[in-house]
C-alpha cells in the first residue's frame, strides 16, 4: 500500500512538472539563452517550447494568428514588416517581456495591450500612431518604451504609472507638452524628445532632477530663456539643445 501511494504521488508530481516549467517567467539572463525561432513552421512543431520568435523582415501584412498558439512566448520581434493592425488577442500573450513592432504601418495600439503586465521592452517606433491609449499605464514593468517616428501629439497622464521606466524615446513626433504625471517617472534615465514641439516642462519635472541623466531636445526651436528655464528645472541633467533662436 505504501509503495502504491508513493507511486501515485510520483506520477502526480511528474505530470505537474511540465506545466510548471512551461508557465515559468524567465529572467533577463535566461531568456537570451533560449532558442530564437525564425519561422512559424518550425515553431509550430513544439509550441510550448517557443520562448523567442523573430519574424523580422518577412513581408508580413497581418499579425500572424499562429503566434497565439505559443503560450510561453516571452520575446516577439515583428519589425520591418507591413503590418497595419495589432489584434486585440495580443492580450493573451501574458508572459511577453519583449515586443518589437517597429517599422510597420500600425495606426493604433489596442487597449488589450494593457494586459501585457510582464512587458519590459516595447518598441513601436516608425509606425503611423497618432494616439497612445490610457492602458499603456498598466505596463508597470516597462524599462524601455520607444514611440519615436510616429504622429503623436500628446501622451496620456497614465504614462506616470510607469515608475520603473528608464528609457523613454519619443523623437520625431509632434508632441508639444508633457503631462504633469511625468514627474512620477523617478527611475527615468534617458528622455529623447528630439524633433518635437515641446517648449516647456511642467513643474513636476523637477522630481526627476536626480534620476534623469540625459535629455535630448535638439531640433526644437527654443529661445535661449526657455532653454535656461529647462536647465534650471533639471540642473544635474545633461541636456542637448540646438542653437537658441529668436523665435516666439
pLDDT digits (tens, 9 = 90+) for 87-126: 999 999 999 999 999 999 999 999 999 999 999 999 999 9
Q: All domains of the chain, ordered by start, with CATH?
A: 27-241 (3.80.10.10)
| Contact between 189 and 214 (Cβ < 8 Å) | yes
121-123 vs 144-146, strand pairing mode: parallel
CA–CA dist 146, 131 (Å, integer): 14
C-alpha cell at 97: 517581456
Give the pLDDT of residue 18.
38
What is the pTM assigned to this prediction?
0.89
Each residue's pLDDT expressed in tens, for the chain with a length of 248 residues: 444 444 344 334 334 333 334 568 999 999 999 999 999 999 999 999 999 999 999 999 999 999 999 999 999 999 999 999 999 999 999 999 999 999 999 999 999 999 999 999 999 999 999 999 999 999 999 999 999 999 999 999 999 999 999 999 999 999 999 999 999 999 999 999 999 999 999 999 999 999 999 999 999 999 999 999 999 999 999 999 998 666 65
CA–CA dist 179, 187 (Å, integer): 17
Q: In the sheet where 214-217 sits, what is the strand order?
A: 36-37, 52-54, 75-77, 98-100, 121-123, 144-146, 167-169, 190-192, 214-217, 238-241
Query: Within 10 Å of residue 58's Cβ, how many Cβ atoms?
Result: 14
Query: Within 10 Å of residue 182's Cβ, how many Cβ atoms?
Result: 22
- Listed in order, strand segments (DSSP E) in 40-83 are 52-54, 75-77
Amino acid at each position: 500500500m505504501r509503495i502504491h501511494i508513493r507511486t501515485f504521488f510520483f506520477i502526480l508530481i511528474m505530470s505537474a512538472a511540465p506545466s510548471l516549467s512551461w508557465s515559468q517567467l524567465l529572467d533577463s539572463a535566461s531568456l537570451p539563452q533560449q532558442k530564437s525561432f525564425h519561422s512559424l513552421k518550425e515553431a509550430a512543431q513544439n509550441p510550448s517550447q517557443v520562448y523567442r520568435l523573430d519574424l523580422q523582415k518577412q513581408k508580413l501584412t497581418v499579425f500572424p494568428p499562429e503566434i497565439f498558439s505559443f503560450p510561453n512566448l516571452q520575446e516577439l520581434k515583428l519589425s520591418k514588416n507591413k503590418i497595419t493592425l495589432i489584434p486585440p488577442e495580443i492580450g493573451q500573450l501574458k508572459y511577453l517581456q519583449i515586443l518589437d513592432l517597429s517599422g510597420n504601418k500600425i495606426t493604433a495600439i489596442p487597449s488589450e495591450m494593457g494586459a501585457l503586465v510582464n512587458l519590459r521592452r516595447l518598441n513601436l517606433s516608425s509606425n503611423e500612431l497618432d494616439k497612445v491609449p490610457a492602458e499603456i499605464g498598466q505596463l508597470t514593468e516597462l524599462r524601455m518604451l520607444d514611440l519615436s517616428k510616429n504622429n503623436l501629439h500628446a501622451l496620456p497622464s497614465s504614462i506616470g504609472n510607469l515608475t520603473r521606466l528608464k528609457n523613454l524615446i519619443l523623437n520625431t513626433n509632434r508632441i508639444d507638452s508633457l503631462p504633469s504625471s511625468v514627474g512620477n517617472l523617478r527611475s527615468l534615465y534617458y528622455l529623447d524628445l528630439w524633433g518635437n514641439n515641446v517648449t516647456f516642462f511642467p513643474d513636476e519635472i523637477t522630481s526627476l532632477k536626480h534620476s534623469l541623466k540625459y535629455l535630448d531636445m535638439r531640433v526644437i526651436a527654443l529661445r535661449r530663456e526657455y532653454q535656461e528655464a529647462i536647465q534650471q528645472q533639471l540642473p544635474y541633467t545633461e541636456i542637448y539643445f540646438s542653437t537658441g533662436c529668436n523665435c516666439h
